[in-house]
Every structure is written in C-alpha cells, then in structure tokens.
Structure 1
C-alpha cells in the first residue's frame, strides 16, 4: 500500500512584479509512495545537504525537480534486471533507458510515482500527508539558510478537486518549524 503525499516548495518574492500579484513562487510535487514524515523528511534533509554543499539551490522549481530526480535515482536499481554483475556504464546512460535492462515490469514504478502538479488543478484526493517546504529568499551564492517545514496531520485536510490552495490553507499542521527540528520531533531513529 502506498502512502501518497503532496509537497509544495514555496519561496517568498521580495519584490513582486506589477504583473504578478502572488507574493510566492510555488512548485508542487505529487509523491505516490513513502509519503510518511520519516521518509519525506529524511529525503528533504539529504536534498538540502546536497544543495547546500553544491550551492545549487535556485528556488522552488529547481528544488522540486531535484527532489524528484534524487527520489527516482535512489530507487532505480530496484528496476534493473536481477543480475548483480550488471551495472549501468556512466559513459552509456542510454543503457538505463533500454526496457530490456529492467525487471519484468511493463511499467517500472520509477517512471511513474511522481507528478509535477499545477496547484490550480486540485489534489488527487487520496493523499495522506501534505508538506510545505519554505525556502529562504537568500541569494544562492550566500551562506545556506534554514528551510522551514510544515507537515500536515495524517489526512488532516479536506479532499476535493478544487484548487490545491484550499487544502493547504485548511490543513491541520502537526509540525511547523525548521527542518532539523522536524527530523528530531517526527522521525524515529533506526534501532
């Protein structure tokens, strides 16, 4: 059974343009599996660590795209053929796209499992968690800043096909604060 979730990456706009009344830039991602806080928060921490180290954070759209890429990359080995001697040659990345190199699945889940959402279209209605990742408005070449995270309660938001904003506005949030604090409070350490 999947734990579906929506992640909204947002960044305040310091000086909104005259043509853009919205004071936030938003990118939203649907994640089909492992949407419970322990998995999502660990993945966000890994993403932030990578973006901080490489100074590659460039706002919500880039951050959301990198989140999806890393999530797919981390599970790709599950869908390659079962031969332990088989590796993907970095010089031949097209090798990865050869359907004959995947397990016996017609539609490998790494090709599915995520969606880039239009916040105006509404949420699927079967999500169990909503997340908001508030990115700082800092220049990417400055010192990295803390991300603020909001985590909904389990299914603690309305379900409908209206604008997604309404679900995020009416959600009951079990946590709102720095990513490091979310990890401490919501993620149990492995035994």
Structure 2
C-alpha cells in the first residue's frame, strides 16, 4: 500500500516578516514512501548534495531536485540484466526506449510524483504533509539550515479544496531544523 504525501518547498520569510521573493512555493505529490522516516532521510540526502555542490536555488529548484533524485533512485530497478531488455547502465538514454518498457505496465520511475499547483487543492488521500522552508540567501554563501514541518498522520482536512487551507489547518507533529527532525523522528537501524 502506498503512503501518499505532499511536500511544499517555500522560501523562508525574513525576521522582519518579508521574503525576498514573496509567494515562492513549489509543491510535489509523492505517491509512495511518504512516511516521515523516508521523506526526512531523502531531504537530508538532497540537502547534503545541494550543500556540497552549492546548487540550492530556491523552492522550484529544490522541488525539481527532490523529484529527480527520487526517480533516479528507482531507475536502477530497470537495470537488472534482464535479457529481454537492452538497457545499458552506461547508456541512460536506453531508459527512454519504449521497447525496453514493454514488459512493464507502468514504470515506477515514470510515475509516482506530480508537480502540483498549490491553488488546485490536494488529492485528498495523502497521509502526510510537509513544508520545507528554505533560507533567503545567496546560493554562493555558506550552506544554511532547512526548517521542516511534518504533519501528524492524516492530521489535516481531506478534501479537494484550496491547498493553502489544508496546510493552514494541519496539526504539525514537528516544526524545526531538518537535523533535529532526523534525530527525533527517524529511528536508526540496529
């Protein structure tokens, strides 16, 4: 069974209450593995990569990177050496050959995510909402902290109305730095 979620990437508002780019929101629907342990680990890995490469550029880029990294992580499922397929790991374009997909009803790496219009509403079957607050800063400055909000399990209105209202009315089980969320909500494997 899928654990659906919505992730909203936003530009953090400055202490004076103003953002350098008001209303900068990018929202992503994730069909599977939307529980906090998985999402928070993926966000931490993404932030580590963006910090190391100085590639953080705001909500739209962060959302696109989240989707790309998640899809990239499932592409390996199709590089398993099946003689029916001609996918070569050295030739990623082989993934785009429809003949290599004939055995699949719906390849996971082509599905599983959606870029959402925040004004359109949420699907209504999500189990978690997340807000990832990105700092207002020059991308070439030293990396800074991401703040995350994690809803309680299904602790928000479930309807196909304006997304903003669902995020406003959600009950948040965590709100703070990503590093603290990892410590508090992600159990380390034994």
Deviation of 1:89 after TM superposition, in Å, equals 4.3
Matched, 1:2 2:2: yes
Match of 1:78 in 2: 77
SS in 2 for 1:120: coil
Match of 2:99 in 1: 100
- 1:66 and 2:65 equivalent? yes
Q: Counterpart of 1:162?
A: 161
**Partner SS for 1:58:** coil
State the partner residue of 1:36. Answer: 35
* 1:37-56 correspondence runs (5 A): 37-56=36-55
Give the alignment's TM-score, normalised by structure 2: 0.90
Q: Is the 2:87–2:94 contact (alpha carbons within 8 Å) kept by the matching residues of 1? A: no
Q: CA deviation at 1:23?
A: 2.8
Unaligned runs of 5+ in 2: none
> 1-side partners of 2:60 and 2:26: how far apart?
5
Q: What are structure 1's unaligned runs of at least 5 residues?
A: none
Checking the alignment, whether the CA contact within 8 Å between 1:148 and 1:178 is kept in structure 2 is: yes
For residues 146-189 of structure 1, what are the alpha-carbon distances to aligned partners after superposition, in whole Å with 9 as ceiling and x for unaligned? 00000000000001111100000000000000000000000011
Structure 2 distance, partners of 1:81, 1:103, is 15
Q: Deviations over 1:9-41 (max 9, x none)?
A: 000466668xxxx83310000000000000000
Following superposition, the deviation at residue 47 of structure 1 comes to 0.1
Contact between 1:152 and 1:173, CA under 8 Å: does it hold in 2?
Answer: yes
- Kept in 2, the 8 Å contact 1:80–1:101? The answer is no
| TM-score, scaled to structure 1 | 0.90
* Alignment: residue pair count: 186
For 1:16 and 1:38, the matched residues in 2 are separated by: 30
Q: Distance in 2 between matches of 1:157 and 1:79?
A: 36
Task: State the Cα distance separating 1:102 from its structure 2 match.
Answer: 3.9
Q: Determine the C-alpha separation between the residues in 1 that align with 2:135 and 2:39.
A: 19
